[in-house]
Structure 1
Amino acid sequence: MSAEPIHEVGYDPAEILRVLPEEWHAQFLGEYHSALDAAHEIWRFKQLQELLRVWRLHAAAVSNPAFEQAERAVRENRRDEFVSMDEAFPGWADER
């Protein structure tokens, strides 16, 4: 399996929601609203930022048409079909 470039998704919740397949909307919105409520306390604002970062990556992954095939390969331990994180998400290490 070859890696395809990820869709560019910013940290804007509306953009994440736009890219995210509909089946994930309820979970994202639930987690986002919880994190948004918690962010009223300054020391918890970083949690909101981290949630958006994680969902940004998740949206990019699950919106890729090859995602289901890759997920199945992982579940079935077909290592010859795995790709490195660098191949799947160019620049992912820079996000950390």
Structure 2
Amino acid sequence: MTAEPLSAGPEDPSEILRVLPAEWHEQFLAEYHGALDAAHEVWRFQQLRDVLHLWRLRAVAYANPEYERAREAAREGRSEEFVPAEQVIPGWSDRQ
């Protein structure tokens, strides 16, 4: 039997860096290294997984050319340009 090369999954740090715009690399790496250090404690391993998952979602959003425009629309309350979270995420208003 021969070893198969590992394929990078969507939450692989190198894949996140590939998708993530360069201006976010430093912040991602700082949070990743912090979570990696924390993962030396077995009970904190989930923190590493959470950081990778969150940054994968951020990478997809930040890489979208429409991201900044949508962010401004949300910040300024221009609801005609976006759908508020409470309309699409069940229980969103209960989280606040």
TM-score in terms of structure 2 length:
0.76
2:12 aligns with: 12
Give the unaligned 5+ runs of structure 2. 1-8, 86-96
Aligned-pair identity in percent equals: 61
> Pairwise CA RMSD of aligned residues?
1.4
CA deviation map 1:5-31 (0-9, x unaligned): xxxx70100000110000000000000
- Aligned residue pairs, count: 77
The runs of at least 4 aligned residues of structure 1 exceeding 2 Å deviation read none
Output the CA distance in 2 between the equivalents of 1:14 and 1:27: 14
- Tell me the amino acid that sits aligned with residue 57 of structure 2: L
- Tell me the amino acid that sits aligned with residue 50 of structure 1: D
TM-score in terms of structure 1 length:
0.76
CA deviation map 1:17-49 (0-9, x unaligned): 110000000000000001001101100000000
Q: Which has the higher contact order (CA 8 A, sep 6+)?
A: 1
Give the unaligned 5+ runs of structure 1. 1-8, 86-96
